[in-house]
Structure 1
Amino acid sequence: MKKRDIFIIITVLIFMMLIRTPIKARVLEVIDMDYMEYLSKAGKADRPDLELIIPAWDYVDTDMDNIQVIDNLAGIKALATSESGYVEWEVEIPESGLYNIEIKYFPLEGRGGDIERALVINGEMPFDGARFLEFPRVWTDEYGYWIDNQGNHIRSPQKEVFIWQTKLLEDSMGYSSEPYLFYFNQGSNKVRLVSRREPMAIAYLKLFQYASPLAYEEVVKEYREKGYKKVDDFICIVQAEDALYRSSKTLYPVYDKADPTVEPYHPAQIRLNTIGGQSWNKAGQWIAWKVDVPEAGLYKIGIKAKQNVRSGSFTVRKLYINGQVPFKEAEAIRFNYSNYYQMVVPGKSAEDPYLIYLDKGENIIKLEVVLGDFADMIANTNSVLYELSTIYRQIIMITSRNPDPMRTYQLENKIPSLVDRLQKQSKTLRRLAFELEEYTGEKGDHVSLLNSLAHQLDLLAERPDDRIPRSLAELRDNLASLGSWILMTTEQPLQMDYLVIAGPDEKMPVASPSVWQVLVHELKSFIASFTHDYNQIGNVYDEGKSIKVWIGGGRDQAQTLKTMIEDSFTPVTGIQVNLELIQEGVILPATLADKGPDVALSVSQAVPINFFIRKAIVDLTEFEDFPEVATRFKYSSLVPFKYRDSVFALPEQQIFPVLFYRTDILQEMGVDLPQTWDDVLHVIAELQKNNMDFGLPYSNIEQIAVGGIGEATSGAGSIVAHAGVSTMLMLLYQSGGELYKVDGIETNLDSELAIDAFTRWTELYELYNLPLYYDYANYFRMGEMPLLITGYTFRNHLEVFAPELRGKWGFTLLPGTLREDGSIDRTSPALGYGTANQGPGAIIMKNARDKEAAWEFLKWWTSTETQVRFGRELESIMGTAARYPTANIEALQLLPWRVEELEVLLEQWEWVKGLPEVPGGYMVGRHLDNAFRKVIYSHEPPRETLLEYNRKINKEISNKRREFGLETELEKLPAEYQKMYWIEEAD
């Protein structure tokens, strides 16, 4: 089939499956059984030596609306499945037993994330890992690198390669070193795949027995039997950055200027000379290279690589040759810790390398991240952490988080088998520590942590009633450290310079630099620090039509943006862009000195209003096509950048709150998710019976005091820094109230609705004793706070940093207020939720040399295509934890969310209400927090306290309005401004 035909088929499928396909969320219950328990339950079940092929198109049931059989997809008959719903097959099993499953699949274009499915057999999900089956996409460079006019290499964006692949169903976390086994009964069985993320086409499902590779000695015998010969006088170097394919967008070429032996090398300019590093660390990630050899025969392989992250340990890779692991030893190739590159030649020793057979011509060499023998250790440690977290939660249900050390709680009597459970986990930890020391050959911090926790558990088990109350905080800290240990051990980073394919007797290149090379390198780097401007990103233009753009954030983000500018903005518009990485606090003094930018990106939410009322930035409504551009965003995201009829910034990001919950704990307690605030009060009572808490947003006092880096007073005093205030605003908005009166001339905090909302807010803490400040990530992780309201980006943190909770948490709509018609109002503001730079925007400075060119840039930057690409590129650089919270409506839907997650986000987004920034409004958050704390700490009456601080707020608003020539009395306000301009007018 021609590539053009494949493209047409894929395009049609995109239209059918992604363009607003009705979303079917699948809510799956917690599966308590892990894979090891499942195998144990299966006992000594047979593993029949059978192979059964289930054609995908021969399905018996589905609820997918757009499922389609394709007779010829890249030469194969296939079933195209959508990103939601299920498809089910019936298979006749001649002999009951355990089987491996392999699926041949073809990724269809979607949101760019890994494809995810859940497997159900005969109506039941067999174990928890069966819910998270991943099918990677394949990526490559869109083109070779290009060189900017400063001499730096600029990497190519990644593009997806649509090809057929086969995938053994296995643990996506890498905790099992062998592919999953599934038990089937004799006779008719039903196999169901439930779509959780992204569409894909399937050719078949194969049930069979996976055969592990033979040991090297056995393979050598086969070499002799087949007459394979060693190849002489041949050596070939393949630069690692020239990889053919990779399984993740994060695996792109990177630069290393710290080592003079890398190829190519420059002491000051950027050279894309390596691949991998910290981004190549997750189990299952792979990189493949194409190698051409002159004749078939036996070769040795060398890998020039550096692993300088895991001190006292090593990382592991699995080697594939043309899709197959050549021998058992190739399943776990070690790369020891070193500050410099090493030449690793797999073998018994440097003098006795493993020989690998390669065909004449083209061969594909692939290296995959695996955990090796770490896999079972991490899986067992993960189970220990979850069990100890459960024990800890059961303890605080009796003692609270702050037990009385003088009281006897009779924990041994109240918690079933407490001592036995503590002793069992201690023995497991000691065994794991011994195995880890044996495996790594070192007794470092990674071993001592396990022994230290085991020792503590032994002490607690000896005298639980006496020691546990006094050691609870220490136990909690040790469990947090154990969670960090799991994350650290799971990561397997490796940075590669090149591959060497050589005859067995060839001498390998020297990988590490000499002392002289290091000295020369350091001298050149020092000189370059005086001659190179590292604030400039990419091409720098002195002539022609150009604009100066400043951006805050990190260099990776800036470099990504510059690459996108050079390949998709400047060629189309002819507008050249000088991009500089600058801290936000520099903008104002630079503007006053007439040395500021034309455009500033990632500007904190509170900054634009201060610039606008000083006539320092452009009113974007002056541009004719502004109304069309504004439709890209929710009205709520424009509100902070709006004053009267003017809009002075375009939103880049918008974060809003959702309700996170621990499924396992709520299921154990029999507690339903709260739908209204009345439900919340009932849930709080149930939680507090067990010494657990409900988490509401809180104001980070340190952040409020100092602001973000470079923000000075801009974000520090803004209401966006006071996330704790959002609870009151939720209650106020849901009851139909408003924060400000018309034109923002003063607050509405003296209204009965506001006083009632403030009173209810304070009562949540006075009457229910909710925590004022807490470590929400660890409280949620440890189960101390199984319900938590915070920004939706917390999901990214959990996905990466709490692997032991996989499948045991979720997020849903906020609790709301019941309306008279029976519906629930779930309105909420978008506030800080952990960052003072909430909802950053893009502005055009008043003294911009070419305002039309600057506007063209803002339109391009906030467009769906650009925001999607930037979000995906950012995630490819920094991983899932950096999922981009774009304010562009369409772009958010095209980022790689799971179906059920996206459904919740889109529905809650409809309830988000924009918070206007008004002159003097920085006092609102500050004094609402002051009033709140005065009520809580000093037990002052809510009404009088709020009214007192309201007078202070309104005084500051009046002073600021007077300073900028605005009316301070409602009677003198022109009729055209006597409106709440932040409320969206009905069409």
Structure 2
Amino acid sequence: MKKIHIIILVVCIVFIGFVVTDALTIAFDKDTLKYNQNITVEQSREASDESYVKNYKNYVESKPQQFPQNKEITVYATDFSHIEGDYEILNDYQNVDQSLLTFETGKVVLPVDIESEGFYRVKLNYYAYPGKSSAIERRIYINGEVPFDAAERVVLHRYYGSEEVIYQDYLGNDIRPSQIEKPIWTNTYLKDALGYINEPFNFYLEAGENEITIESLREPLLIESIVVESISTLKTYEEMKSFYQSENYQLANQPIQFIQAEDAVRTTSPTLYPLNDRTSAKTMPSDPTLIKLNSIGGTNWGIAGDKITWEFEVPTSGLYEISMRVKQRLANGMVVYRDIYIDGEMPFKEMQNYAFTYVNDWRMQTLGTNDEAFLFYLEAGTHELSMEVSLGVYGQLISDLQDVINNLNKIYREILIYTGPSPDPFRDYELVNRIPNLLGRFTEELGLLEAIRQSLIDVSGSRSEKTGILDTVIFQLNDFLRTPREIQNNLSTYVSNISSLGTLVILLSSQPLEIDYFILHNPDATLPEYKAHFFEGLWYGFRAFLATFYTDYSSVGRRDTGEVNETIEVWLSVGQDQVNILRKLIDESFAPQSKIQVDLKLVSAASLLPATLSGKGPDVALGQADSTPVNYAMRNATYPLSSFDDFDEIKSRFMDSAFVPYQYQGEYYGLPEQQVFLMMFYRTDIFEEFELTPPNTWREVIEMIPSLQKYNLEFYLPVPLTQGAAVTLPANPVFSTMFYQNDGQFYINDDKESGFNSGLGPQVFEQWSSFYTNYSFPVEANFNNRFRSGQMPIGITYYNTYNTLSVFAPEIRGKWNFIAVPGTEYEDEFGVTQIRRETVSSGTGAIILNQSDKKEESWEFLKWWTSTETQVRFGREMEGILGAAARYPTANIEAMEQLPWTIDELSKLKEQWEWVRGIPEVPGGYMTGRHLDNAFRLVLNEAANPRETIYDYVQMINEEIAKKRREFGLD
């Protein structure tokens, strides 16, 4: 018993000691300067001339180093010397006398008369004219030439803000306000869109008349003027202190003033919306049971150039300190940077690339150095504080890393020429002798990687998973240098390591920072506690835990929409972000206007069938596969939407091809939501390197194959695989494409038989299977990875691959494109050769269940959901929350045109969309894709005769169709 008492006593003493220590630590931890760091890293190795940043430095160094001072030349946009494309001159637009509106295509040339030659900066005064809510992109020419690579794409931001104040749902949870455009006249220096080059561009202008050309790449832009001005150097804080003393500025004697970060007045991205933080009881405001939008930033605030602006009032003129409660725990082992502005100007040099170090919790940080806090002179009145994401020292490192990735990929493609993707492990390919300077090139990249690794350690002060990625690649390159004969045996690991370097680019480019509030105060002010005491945190966590037992999470986000006449139940199987957006749109527009409330339920896709069979299904189901509406209709489980009087009007919102899978017995049983179709993606850089041209027809595909295979490069054609417990295997999209291009019909004789062995069907099947049997196309491949490495520089896949590549492969940004699928040649009635480009699509649809007794109300919901306005809002909200990776592939034609595609991208998509044909659903049709794949596998694996094989499997498909028709009582 004594031992137990002693143990309990020791535990109590330790616990009390811990609590007391915790309380004392919080009470006496008043050093808010300890997190400040002034980080400078010297790059010990010179980057290659192909480096993105070095390309700009070479431009600057190639010109006479002249920097004229005190020069400022303003050129009004309406004084252009030449213009191409559509434009408008607007008078008195938003209080500006005259301005030039340029659209998504065209150029405007502005003459600039320079007195003294040398380097200047260019500031653009612009207004983000309404467009598709994506960033504005322009290309800059100086005297007819793009001066350096970074000027190929300059980004001009739009400005966003909350549509309304933060409101609550009927449970008391805060609802995230929609982020809408809030355009203003603003000015910005022309600078690097990627953030690799930290300062605004320096342009060299000759004495006399020069021409600055602005070419449209994306979105309209309203320009008032450009200002060409001398390059000035920011004052240091020490110089500003001397200025304060000379002006006799005094410390402001005012109580501390809070600025809540979630109340931002303006941002440059719709993703920068208020967040809910529940990690601390000290976050303002905070509630353990309810959602409170109490911070901003986090992972959403990490892209170079993203800026948040806050507004605040200063009661008395004087010198103030600025402190903030921040959290930087997402970028592990990294420092993140921000450029800080007061009233649009950087107060002094130290506010450029201001560092926020990694700490695993909220902290209070006062702007300054380790030794002193910075003082900011503020006049009484309204002011703005802005913080912009900067890459700081990482910009040069990322540029160098991109260069390494490009060079290692180039070496890989050269190795492939001799080894192929599956080299013989017992053969010596003599790569060192065949590939010029192979080991020297490996040594050069190894040296640059080691320099990057050391720089990362110098920045963070320790190793991390980022340096671990570099360690792996460095180890392999050292291994290659020691045993070059083993290079071919480790190619798969080599490619994987290059992909890891691409991931490292993404990690280093992300600069997340979360802010709770700012404090404006004098140096002697007592700052609030930023960390909860032990018992305070324990009680907060306990109440949050209890709330999980009684909170109705399915109702979270639902707001009081006033009087409702009916409530319908809608099921969907998507992500939580999509549900939250839909819930918000319903409460803002559908429910108040229709007086119909919607009970949204996020369920598993497999739940619909058993729920319907048991009579407990929903009124409406969204996100259903193309095969579901007709398969349910055969069993009298879905309601025919074409029975509604205004169905034909709603049908006109979509392409006819989108309805083909939903048609059965003369009725339509679904409305399209998403529709994606095939496009051909190709690597422009590799095609230029090997002087290849993207194929226009299938004949040209075959003609190009020897050129690709000469370099052991591959062409990708998708072969769908059955995944998990899924029974339905879709018909191969490439075969279906070629089949439709040759007048094929999936089903003939009133949908009673397969059409694969009629007309040119057997010949098409033979041609398609020959890609794999005669030309060795890979049957299974990760197209994204191989496209990224360059092993597979061309392929046909669904167009939403664009989303993946935009985010997944930043190192090949600008080095790929997409065009329509290859076509089949034919002669028209006038003897002129034409090209058919039919292809197929995949998508999702919405259905009304037959068991619903609220069909009219459900139809009103579907009409609202598939409308142009709702689809555009949903698509933009999705992209606003998740970025370009979430671009919504809407089936609504008008909505597609309003999503942020460029004119060039949209024209290609619309051209191909016109050729899309749907695949009908028939009883027993689930065997079509399965037996088509079985026939293909038999030809591939056993060298069976293609025409005989497809004939045999067509009989099996027909037997299943006949069986199912008998089951459903059809003729």
TM-score with structure 1 setting the length: 0.90
Q: What is residue 728 of structure 2 aligned with on the other side?
A: 718
Give secondary structure in 1 for the equivalent of 2:369.
Answer: strand
Q: Shift of the alpha carbon at 1:485?
A: 0.8
Is the 8 Å Cα contact of residues 56 and 149 (structure 2) preserved in structure 1?
no
The runs of at least 4 consecutive aligned structure 1 residues that moved more than 4 Å come to 540-543
1:48 to 37, 52, 67: 67
Pair 407,263 (structure 1): closer, same or farther in 2 beyond 3 Å: same
Q: Shift of the alpha carbon at 1:95?
A: 3.7
Return the alpha-carbon distance in structure 2 between the equivalents of residues 922 and 127 of structure 1. Answer: 55
> In the TM superposition, what whole-angstrom CA distance separates every residue of 1:257-298 from its partner, at most 9, and x where no partner exists?
333222222223222122122111111001111111211111
1:815 to 798, 813, 822: 822
> In the TM superposition, what whole-angstrom CA distance separates every residue of 1:103-158 from its partner, at most 9, and x where no partner exists?
11111111111111111233332233222211110011110122121222112211
Is the 8 Å Cα contact of residues 879 and 887 (structure 2) preserved in structure 1?
yes
Q: Shift of the alpha carbon at 1:338?
A: 3.6
Return the alpha-carbon distance in structure 2 between the equivalents of residues 418 and 105 of structure 1. Answer: 50
Q: What is residue 357 of structure 1 aligned with on the other side?
A: 377
Pair 311,292 (structure 1): closer, same or farther in 2 beyond 3 Å: same
Return the alpha-carbon distance in structure 1 between the equivalents of residues 55 and 921 of structure 2. Answer: 55
Return the alpha-carbon distance in structure 2 between the equivalents of residues 606 and 879 of structure 1. Answer: 30
Return the alpha-carbon distance in structure 1 between the equivalents of residues 514 and 964 of structure 2. Answer: 55
Note if 1:664 corresponds to 2:685: yes
Q: What is residue 24 of structure 1 aligned with on the other side?
A: none
Is the 8 Å Cα contact of residues 564 and 596 (structure 2) preserved in structure 1?
no
563-572 or 123-132, which deviates more: 123-132
Q: What is residue 926 of structure 1 aligned with on the other side?
A: 930
Is the 8 Å Cα contact of residues 53 and 196 (structure 2) preserved in structure 1?
no
Note if 1:526 corresponds to 2:545: yes
Is the 8 Å Cα contact of residues 118 and 131 (structure 1) preserved in structure 2?
yes
Q: Shift of the alpha carbon at 1:534?
A: 1.5
Q: What is residue 958 of structure 1 aligned with on the other side?
A: 962
Is the 8 Å Cα contact of residues 257 and 268 (structure 1) preserved in structure 2?
no
Q: What is residue 308 of structure 1 aligned with on the other side?
A: 329
Q: What is residue 758 of structure 1 aligned with on the other side?
A: 765
Q: Shift of the alpha carbon at 1:47?
A: 3.7
758-767 or 315-324, which deviates more: 315-324
Specify the code of the residue in structure 2 equivalent to 1:779.
Answer: R
Return the alpha-carbon distance in structure 2 between the equivalents of residues 864 and 210 of structure 1. Answer: 48
1:828 to 839, 845, 848: 839
Q: What is residue 536 of structure 1 aligned with on the other side?
A: 555
Q: What is residue 507 of structure 2 aligned with on the other side?
A: 488
Question: Map of 1:573-612 to 2, 5 A cutoff?
Answer: 573-612=594-633
Listed as ranges, the gaps of 5+ residues in structure 2 are 1-48
Q: What is residue 381 of structure 1 aligned with on the other side?
A: 401
> In the TM superposition, what whole-angstrom CA distance separates every residue of 1:563-605 from its partner, at most 9, and x where no partner exists?
1111111121111122222222212222333332111111222
Q: What is residue 631 of structure 1 aligned with on the other side?
A: 652
Return the alpha-carbon distance in structure 2 between the equivalents of residues 475 and 738 of structure 1. Answer: 46
Q: What is residue 18 of structure 1 aligned with on the other side?
A: none
Note if 1:292 corresponds to 2:283: no
> In the TM superposition, what whole-angstrom CA distance separates every residue of 1:679-733 from its partner, at most 9, and x where no partner exists?
111122111000001111121x3xx2316xxxxxxxx23344x5xx111111110
Return the alpha-carbon distance in structure 2 between the equivalents of residues 475 and 623 of structure 1. Answer: 59
Q: What is residue 14 of structure 1 aligned with on the other side?
A: none
Q: What is residue 793 of structure 1 aligned with on the other side?
A: 800
Q: What is residue 200 of structure 1 aligned with on the other side?
A: 221
Q: What is residue 39 of structure 1 aligned with on the other side?
A: 57
Pair 72,878 (structure 1): closer, same or farther in 2 beyond 3 Å: closer
Pair 258,745 (structure 1): closer, same or farther in 2 beyond 3 Å: farther
Is the 8 Å Cα contact of residues 718 and 734 (structure 2) preserved in structure 1?
yes
Give secondary structure in 2 for the equivalent of 1:819.
Answer: strand
Is the 8 Å Cα contact of residues 537 and 579 (structure 1) preserved in structure 2?
no
Give secondary structure in 2 for the equivalent of 1:498.
Answer: strand
Q: Shift of the alpha carbon at 1:73?
A: 4.3
Specify the code of the residue in structure 2 equivalent to 1:473.
Answer: S
Pair 621,752 (structure 1): closer, same or farther in 2 beyond 3 Å: closer
Q: What is residue 845 of structure 2 aligned with on the other side?
A: 841
Q: Shift of the alpha carbon at 1:42?
A: 4.2
Q: Shift of the alpha carbon at 1:805?
A: 1.4
Return the alpha-carbon distance in structure 1 between the equivalents of residues 97 and 330 of structure 2. Answer: 44
Q: Shift of the alpha carbon at 1:54?
A: 2.2
Return the alpha-carbon distance in structure 2 between the equivalents of residues 53 and 75 of structure 1. Answer: 15
1:877 to 863, 875, 881: 881
TM-score with structure 2 setting the length: 0.91
Give secondary structure in 2 for the equivalent of 1:207.
Answer: strand
Q: What is residue 748 of structure 2 aligned with on the other side?
A: 741
Return the alpha-carbon distance in structure 2 between the equivalents of residues 736 and 119 of structure 1. Answer: 48
Give secondary structure in 1 for the equivalent of 2:514.
Answer: strand
Q: Shift of the alpha carbon at 1:64?
A: 1.3
Q: Shift of the alpha carbon at 1:492?
A: 1.0
Specify the code of the residue in structure 2 equivalent to 1:152.
Answer: N
Return the alpha-carbon distance in structure 1 between the equivalents of residues 878 and 208 of structure 2. Answer: 49
Q: What is residue 535 of structure 2 aligned with on the other side?
A: 516
Return the alpha-carbon distance in structure 2 between the equivalents of residues 489 and 369 of structure 1. Answer: 13
Return the alpha-carbon distance in structure 2 between the equivalents of residues 291 and 130 of structure 1. Answer: 36
Q: Shift of the alpha carbon at 1:339?
A: 3.9
Note if 1:391 corresponds to 2:411: yes
> In the TM superposition, what whole-angstrom CA distance separates every residue of 1:866-890 from its partner, at most 9, and x where no partner exists?
1000000000110011000000000
Return the alpha-carbon distance in structure 2 between the equivalents of residues 391 and 864 of structure 1. Answer: 48
Q: What is residue 419 of structure 1 aligned with on the other side?
A: 439
Q: What is residue 290 of structure 2 aligned with on the other side?
A: 269
> In the TM superposition, what whole-angstrom CA distance separates every residue of 1:52-71 from its partner, at most 9, and x where no partner exists?
32221111222213333535
Specify the code of the residue in structure 1 equivalent to 2:926.
Answer: Y
Give secondary structure in 2 for the equivalent of 1:241.
Answer: helix
Is the 8 Å Cα contact of residues 68 and 79 (structure 1) preserved in structure 2?
yes
Q: What is residue 524 of structure 2 aligned with on the other side?
A: 505
Q: Shift of the alpha carbon at 1:669?
A: 1.0
Q: What is residue 428 of structure 1 aligned with on the other side?
A: 448
Return the alpha-carbon distance in structure 2 between the equivalents of residues 197 and 341 of structure 1. Answer: 39
Is the 8 Å Cα contact of residues 54 and 206 (structure 1) preserved in structure 2?
yes
Q: Shift of the alpha carbon at 1:540?
A: 7.6
Root mean square deviation, CA, Å? 1.9
Note if 1:690 corresponds to 2:711: yes
Q: Shift of the alpha carbon at 1:33?
A: 7.5
> In the TM superposition, what whole-angstrom CA distance separates every residue of 1:610-643 from its partner, at most 9, and x where no partner exists?
2211111211111111100000000111111111
Q: What is residue 10 of structure 1 aligned with on the other side?
A: none
Q: Shift of the alpha carbon at 1:181?
A: 2.3
Specify the code of the residue in structure 2 equivalent to 1:484.
Answer: T
Q: What is residue 804 of structure 1 aligned with on the other side?
A: 811
Specify the code of the residue in structure 2 equivalent to 1:162.
Answer: P
Q: Shift of the alpha carbon at 1:462?
A: 4.7
Is the 8 Å Cα contact of residues 51 and 400 (structure 2) preserved in structure 1?
no
Note if 1:862 corresponds to 2:866: yes
Q: What is residue 497 of structure 2 aligned with on the other side?
A: 478
Q: Shift of the alpha carbon at 1:401?
A: 1.9
Q: What is residue 897 of structure 1 aligned with on the other side?
A: 901
Q: What is residue 13 of structure 2 aligned with on the other side?
A: none
1:63 to 66, 73, 84: 84
Is the 8 Å Cα contact of residues 33 and 128 (structure 1) preserved in structure 2?
no
Is the 8 Å Cα contact of residues 558 and 584 (structure 2) preserved in structure 1?
no
Return the alpha-carbon distance in structure 2 between the equivalents of residues 540 and 503 of structure 1. Answer: 42
Specify the code of the residue in structure 2 equivalent to 1:119.
Answer: I
Is the 8 Å Cα contact of residues 232 and 504 (structure 1) preserved in structure 2?
no
Return the alpha-carbon distance in structure 2 between the equivalents of residues 577 and 304 of structure 1. Answer: 39
Specify the code of the residue in structure 2 equivalent to 1:229.
Answer: Q
Q: Shift of the alpha carbon at 1:446?
A: 1.5
Return the alpha-carbon distance in structure 2 between the equivalents of residues 69 and 32 of structure 1. Answer: 42
Is the 8 Å Cα contact of residues 547 and 576 (structure 1) preserved in structure 2?
yes
Is the 8 Å Cα contact of residues 303 and 389 (structure 2) preserved in structure 1?
yes
Q: What is residue 9 of structure 1 aligned with on the other side?
A: none
Note if 1:211 corresponds to 2:232: yes
Specify the code of the residue in structure 2 equivalent to 1:428.
Answer: L
Specify the code of the residue in structure 1 equivalent to 2:823.
Answer: G
Give secondary structure in 1 for the equivalent of 2:78.
Answer: coil
Return the alpha-carbon distance in structure 1 between the equivalents of residues 50 and 826 of structure 2. Answer: 38
Is the 8 Å Cα contact of residues 324 and 364 (structure 2) preserved in structure 1?
yes
2:148 to 115, 119, 127: 127
> In the TM superposition, what whole-angstrom CA distance separates every residue of 1:508-541 from its partner, at most 9, and x where no partner exists?
2222232223322222122111101223343389
Q: Shift of the alpha carbon at 1:816?
A: 0.4
Question: Map of 1:635-646 to 2, 5 A cutoff?
Answer: 635-646=656-667
Return the alpha-carbon distance in structure 1 between the equivalents of residues 118 and 815 of structure 2. Answer: 29
Is the 8 Å Cα contact of residues 318 and 330 (structure 1) preserved in structure 2?
yes
Return the alpha-carbon distance in structure 1 between the equivalents of residues 960 and 238 of structure 2. Answer: 83
Q: Shift of the alpha carbon at 1:35?
A: 4.4
Q: Shift of the alpha carbon at 1:178?
A: 1.5
Note if 1:366 corresponds to 2:386: yes
